[in-house]
Amino acid sequence: MEALQAVKDMFPRMSNSELMAPVDNVTVSTEKLRLRLMEEGLSEGAIQDSEQIMRTEFAALQSQLVLLKQKHSILIDTLRQLETEKVDLENTVVDESQRQWNDEEASSRLAQEKFSGTASESEDDNERNDAAEEETDDDDNAFFDTRDILSSSSFKSNGSDYRVSSFSSDDAGFYAFESEDDVDPSIRYVGTNYPHVKWRKKLPDPVEKEKGVSLWSMIKDNIGKDLTKVCLPVYFNEPLSSLQKCFEEMEYSYLLDQAYEWGRKGNSLMRILYVAAFAISGYASTEGRVCKPFNPLLGETYEAHYPDKGLRFFSEKVSHHPMIVACHCEGTGWKFWGDSNLKSKFWGRSIQLDPVGILTLEFDDGEVFQWSKVTTSIYNLILGKLYCDHYGTMRIQGNQEYSCKLKFKEQSIIDRNPHQVHGIIQDRNGKTVSTLFGKWDESMHYVNGDYTGKGKGHESLSDARLLWKRSKAPKFPTRYNFTRFAITLNELTPGLKEKLPPTDSRLRPDQRYLENGEYDMANSEKIRLEQRQRQARKMQESGWKPRWFAKDKASGTYRYIGGYWEARQRGNWDSCPDIFGQIPPDHISDEGQITL
């Protein structure tokens, strides 16, 4: 209601009586004109004629203004009507999509037919000789209805059917891991043979009752500005930092374990297919996530050691303006690193986030893949249901035999099947050898050959095979729509706090208060830390450098220089400042600024 009132105040209505007021109601003074003409010595008749001409011209001008006001009123009413119809249409689409999904879920329980055929390392001998038409980034005709295909009776697997191993049961963990029954067992169980770790399954119960705040009232004056520079109350945050969000994209790291094993067996095509599935899977957790992560302080870090995933991860905020976070992850047979800078714009009813940076994946055998992320937008900030969408083209470049092109389809308000992703795998000669399709918030499948051309049938897509499927929802939902994996990211397990450096995100007080539901304390701490952070630019200009990363002059990206895990083992954090602590009184000037 506050948002509607704010919009209404921006476009005030004029009553019909005001719009249609007669010209005679407007009084136009001619006194100054009469005095000037009398000074010139004109006769009374000429003066009266001049006054009448002036009144006539003003009357004509007001008539034009009345017409413009009428058109303005009609346009505003039309805009309001269209907005109302848009919201109704969105609600209808959501209801219809939910109904179709429920129907498919019911029908999937009756479907028992397995996938037929095995994965092929070469192309079909009967592959068509006619080359597919050249693709462009703006060509949407290559997108077919993924849901219709996945729900067909001849298709192997349905998005609502989870075959979860005992490893991913509610008592054992939070991974919805699955693979085809006829896959090589040495590949099928890769990623499941790690030691079990017991993680929490829910966030703490909130101490206080949450207070409602109008988002529109906070950001309506910041249209067109960089959102990273807009200070919002803590109520619009989720209890995770951007550093932790980077690690959240590693939830399905078992896909990289499988990619590594496929490469070891000499199957480079299957390797890049699983790499592509991993690149897409990082977006799955964003569905329904409309709260903003905490902006890390300069020098803030985050570590993640997950023995049950066979990896360890480390990230650090390496620059304040522009805001850049760098990360480094080590898994079984692979390393992953990159830095990320988000350029954001607020356009009144939506927020657009354009990622800047390159992600690099290197396997122990020397094969390297690089890609950049696609654009993300959050819609309906003022009116309607908030939702996010990812769209654009992602190119995964390999240094050996194959490369991949993935197209994230932009959602429209009448799209009955949103979140679609289609892609192709090409060899060195540019020939398409495999096709991917699915949805970034559900699952991805592949089929050998090129099925992206216009007019081609989808009968052979029944042979498509599953690459990845999203994990099950948590048993205890949160207001932030966290996944089971996300719930664990800020957890302080027994004995962990004593091993962490004072810069770790888990020790950030405003974030911890928010997770505990202590909203007043969280907000006051956020304000305190933002005051401290205002000096970050001066710190950079005075020669501050990140502790664990260095900028590579050749590529311009930040690379991990090592030493963190060794310092952790020794418990030596002397080089890490207490960035979350209280500011010493002698470091605050009379004007309230922090002195360095």
- State residue 566's pLDDT score: 96
Distance CA 73, CA 15 (A): 9
Could you tell me the pLDDT band of residue 122, with boundaries at 50, 70 and 90?
very low
Contacts of 89 (CB under 8 A, 6+ apart): 413, 414
- Average pLDDT in the 168-179 region? 46
pLDDT at residue 91 is higher than 60: no
pLDDT tens per residue, range 348-386: 778 899 999 999 999 999 999 999 999 999 888 777 788
For residues 222 and 41, give the distance between their C-alpha atoms in angstroms, rounded to a whole number. Answer: 58
Torsion angle defined by CA atoms of residues 91, 93, 98 and 101, in that order, rounded to the nearest 10 degrees: -170
Question: What pLDDT, on the 0 to 100 scale, is given for residue 218?
Answer: 58
Instruction: Give the C-alpha separation, 338 to 236, whole Å.
Output: 27
- Among residues 252, 260, 296, the alpha carbon closest in space to that of 278 is found at 252
pLDDT mean over 80-105: 58
**pLDDT classification of 83: cutoffs 50, 70, 90:** low
**Do strands 292-294 and 334-346 pair parallel, antiparallel, or not at all (unpaired)?**
unpaired
Burial 272-299 (b: 16+ CB within 10 A, else e): bbbbbbbbbbbbbbbbebbbbbbbbbbb
Q: How far, in Å, CA of 593 to CA of 532, rounded?
A: 9
Does 2 score more than 50 pLDDT? yes
pLDDT in tens, 504-559: 999 999 999 999 999 999 999 999 998 888 777 788 788 889 999 999 988 889 99
* Other C-beta atoms lying within 10 Å of the C-beta of residue 334: 22
Contact by Cβ (8 Å): 356, 376: no
Please name the residue that has the structure tokens 């990206």: 557
Q: Tell me the pLDDT tens digit for each residue of 124-160.
A: 443 433 333 344 444 444 555 555 555 544 344 433 3
Predicted confidence at residue 137, as pLDDT, reads 47
pLDDT at 176: 47
Q: Which amino acid belongs to residue 36?
A: R
Which residue has better confidence, 55 or 272? 272
Where do we find the tokens 């009586």? Answer: 17
- pLDDT at residue 13 in the model: 54
pTM > 0.75: yes or no: no
Question: Do 325 and 340 contact (CB within 8 A), yes or no?
Answer: yes
